[in-house]
Structure formats: C-alpha cells, structure tokens
Homo-oligomer: A and B are copies of this chain.
C-alpha cells in the first residue's frame, strides 16, 4: 500500500529549516504556534478527512530521535485506519473524540494519554460537534511506513 495515510501524507510544501538555536514558539489562539506553519495538503483521501498536521519539532534541522507533531481533526473528521510497527505516544490538548485501538473504542478528552503498541490497528475520530480534536503525537524519527487497513466509514 503506497497511498499516503493521514499521518504521513505528502506535504505540498517542504518543511523549512528553523534557526538551530534554543527558542520558544508561543502558542496563539486555537493552538497555532508562532513561526511554525500549518502543513498544507491538497485534499482528503477517501480514507481520511479533515486532518491538519503541524510539525512542531524534529523535522526542521533538529537532531532528535523523535518527531513531535500536532494534529487536529475537524468535527466529523477521522484519520486513516492504519497500523505500523512504530509506536505512538499521543496527548490530547483540546476537544473531544475517540480512538479505536484494535477492536476497542475509547472516548478521549483533553489531557488523556494514548499509547499505540506496535502493529495495533488504530484510528482517531472526532465525533463531537463544534470543536476540533487536537493532540500531540510523538513518533520515532526512524520509522516504518503506515499500512492502510480499510477505508473508514463515517
């Protein structure tokens, strides 16, 4: 499966290198950070919808063994139902929604911590009205490519 999934979609803009030194990126309204652009993408695929990705750290010249990203899923949106060998660490920052881990669905709210184990099928969904579901997602810098399991049903 070579089709890009929600978390690994091919950006239409390369991620620009940021200044190499220590720095603070202030968080503005609606979880947008000064000096860090939202990653643009052309359109949703059939298997994911309403996903915004902001690469916070690790992909802009830093040497970390991890990448820190912020994802937002719009109301009614969902990420790809996918699996991969690398693990996910997720911390919810805003909104409500749910995560499917294997065959189990867990409700999510701000502050909740999610661990996605190797090869676990998973999908994040925003079933709430109004507010985006926003979460940090940390992954190893060196990682395998996600495999799409099936098209999500809404």
| Chain A residues close to B by CB (< 8 Å) | 20-27, 31, 33, 36, 56-58, 62-66, 68, 87, 89, 91-93, 99, 101-102, 106, 108-118, 120, 122, 136, 138, 140-142
- Determine whether the beta carbon of A65 is less than 8 Å from that of B112: no
B115 touches A62 (CB 8 A): yes
Tell me whether B24 and A108 are in contact (CB under 8 A).
yes
With A89-B57, A113-B56 as contacts: A64 and B140 at CB distance below 8 Å: yes
Q: Report the copy number of this chain in the oligomer.
A: 2
Inter-chain contact A138/B87, CB cutoff 8 Å: no
Q: Are B57 and A112 in contact (CB under 8 A)?
A: no
Contact, CB under 8 Å: B68 / A112: no
Shortest distance from the beta carbon of A48 to any chain B beta carbon, whole Å? 20
Contact of A89 among B26, B58, B92 (CB under 8 A): B58
Contact A113 B65 (CB under 8 A): no
In this complex, what residue of B is CB-closest to A54?
Answer: B113
A37 CB to closest chain B CB (Å) equals 14
